[in-house]
Each structure stands twice: as structure tokens, then as C-alpha cells.
Homo-oligomer: A and B are copies of this chain.
Amino acid sequence: MMRRSFQVAARLGHRRALLRTPCILPGLDPAAAFGSSTDSLVSRFCPVKTDLKDYALPNASWCPDMLSLYQEFLEKTKSDGWVKLPSFKSNRDHIQGLKLPSGLVAASDKSDWRIFTRCIQVEGQGYEYVIFFHPFKKKSVCLFQPGPYLEGPPGFAHGGSLAAMMDETFSKTAYLAGEGLFTLNLNIRFKK
């Protein structure tokens, strides 16, 4: 594991703290697409039965700190309103059944599409992360452990890999809160 790993907290509604400005596409209201509530978006996003592999589960590469935090938040899903989000290979799996505006129909060719933050398939080499979402608070926490394929300066995670992890956490938060889909602005100030 490299230095510059971190825990991302994303919360909507606090503009001054918002790193990312979400954008609702013209003609697309994700909340309205499935009813009108965050709950219905979340229940669709987290299918109880699926054959899809969930990459947001512990594996042998997770360090003790990561496992400990995972268990801590898993406990909170039982009593405190938090939801552990599954993470499939592609966003295409997450939005199955969502009708996109005509200008946004994705190519349906045979390419092996992958969401960027699951682009590296070997356990522990790239992104290891899990996002917990609180539908009522519209808040997320991402536990993240960068692997050696995310390097920038020797021994440190690439600034771009951290930016991507933050962007992904915010985009899932905004999507499930029914408030956005695309990134418009991304402003990050690294503390150290």
C-alpha cells in the first residue's frame, strides 16, 4: 500500500465543501426514472439477487486498517441507516433499465467496458475501495487502499488516481441522491 491513501467523505448540500459540481442532464432525472425517492434509486442500485461480481468486498490484499474500517461501517448498515454500495464491473450494470436520452445512447458493441476505478483486475494492484452511502443524510464515505499500479512519484499515489477516486465517490453520491450524473467541475486541494 502506498502513502496518500485516505478516507473520502462526500456530502451533498454543503456547497462550500463540495469538491465536485454535479450536473443533471437535460431530459434525464435519475430519481424520476425510478419513482421519486433516493430510496428507490438505492434499492435498484443494490440488487439483493444478482450474478454480477461485487468488487467492493474484502479480499486478501486488504490491510488490517481497511478491514477494520470496513467492519465498523458494516455494523452501521445494521442500525444506523448506512448502505454498503455494490461495485460492478461497469456502470452499464448499475443502470440496467435506465433509459438514457437519445443523444446519450451508449455503443452496444462487444467491447469489454469497465468503470475506470475497476480497470485493474489483479487484486491489490490498483484500486481497492468500498463506498458506504447514507440515503437520509445524502452522505458517503469511501474506504480506499491504493496499490502499486496507481503510482505517481515513487512511493506515492498519483494525484490523478486520488482525483478519480474522489470523483467516483461524489458521482455515486450525486447519482443516488438524484442530483447528477456528469462531472462539471472538479476542484481538489491536497492537504499533504
* Complex interface: chain B residues within 8 A of A149 (CB): 112-114, 116, 119
Q: Does A91 contact B (CB under 8 A)?
A: yes
Contact A119 B116 (CB under 8 A): no
Q: Does A159 contact B (CB under 8 A)?
A: yes
* Complex interface: chain B residues within 8 A of A164 (CB): 158-161, 163-164
Q: Does A47 contact B (CB under 8 A)?
A: no
The chain B residue sitting closest to A25, CB to CB, is B153
Interface size class of A (residues with CB under 8 A): 35 or more
- Beyond A91-B154, A113-B151, A151-B113, whether A159 also contacts B186 by CB under 8 A is yes
Please report the C-alpha to C-alpha distance between residue A68 and residue B122 in the assembled complex, in whole angstroms: 34
Please report the C-alpha to C-alpha distance between residue A111 and residue B158 in the assembled complex, in whole angstroms: 16
| Binary contact track A36-56/B, C-beta < 8 Å → 1, others 0 | 000000000000000000000
Tell me the number of copies of this protein.
2
A48 CB to nearest B CB, Å: 24
Contact A160 B159 (CB under 8 A): no
A61 CB to nearest B CB, Å: 12
A57 CB to nearest B CB, Å: 21
14 contacts between A and B (CB under 8 A): A90-B154, A91-B151, A104-B155, A112-B149, A113-B151, A113-B154, A114-B149, A117-B158, A119-B150, A152-B183, A159-B171, A160-B167, A185-B187, A185-B188
Please report the C-alpha to C-alpha distance between residue A171 and residue B112 in the assembled complex, in whole angstroms: 30
- Footprint of B on A, CB under 8 Å? 20, 90-92, 95, 100, 104-107, 111-117, 119-120, 125-126, 148-161, 163-168, 171, 181-190
Contact B189 A154 (CB under 8 A): no
Specify which of B95, B115, B125, B153 is in contact with A158 (CB 8 Å cutoff): B115
Contact A115 B182 (CB under 8 A): no
- Beyond A148-B111, A153-B91, whether A116 also contacts B183 by CB under 8 A is no
Please report the C-alpha to C-alpha distance between residue A175 and residue B125 in the assembled complex, in whole angstroms: 26
